[in-house]
Structure 1
Amino acid sequence: MESSNANDNHILGLTLGAYMVFGLYQIISSILQKSILLLTYQLINFLSLIYFFRTLFLFFFCFTISIVLSVYILLWLWNNCNISFKCFFMKERKK
């Protein structure tokens, strides 16, 4: 009788231990899964923010470069008297 009781206690202990390990595994995997999902969500937000600022930077960079090049070309043309307005005004003054 005592042997059967010890055997039952041993089986009960193993079963409870298995349930505890399985429950702990589920809790840890749930936490990890949620944290991985949260981390992925934050990473996607961060990357979209980087993409937004990169696009904004490229837009303003290209805009600035185009303005600088336009001004440079206009000044070069003005100094070489290839713009008709300057030549026209200079001719008008000389007369």
Structure 2
Amino acid sequence: MKAQENKTFRNLLVLQQTREAVKIQLKEKYTETVTPFIDIIIQVMKANDINEFDAIQKIKSELSIYKKPGSELLFSTALIEIVEGKHFE
């Protein structure tokens, strides 16, 4: 179990670093750019009664929007926003 916990924390750290890089790049447009991606994840979660991680996998495998340039980073950023919003506030 310890190895799995370490992997989880490493993955969360990567997501946080991705978010910080996206924030630096987008500056004042961060919220308006990332919010639609948060909304998509939440809609998929609700429609399929799944968690945010399963929703990302479903989006990745089933929605063409994930394949657009830059979308992977924006979905990753949206994912950490959701995770931190649910678990750390």
Using structure 1 for the length normalisation, give the TM-score: 0.29
The structure whose RCO (Cα within 8 Å, separation 6+) is larger is: 2
Structure number having the greater helix percentage: 1
- Answer with 1 or 2: which has the greater Rg: 1
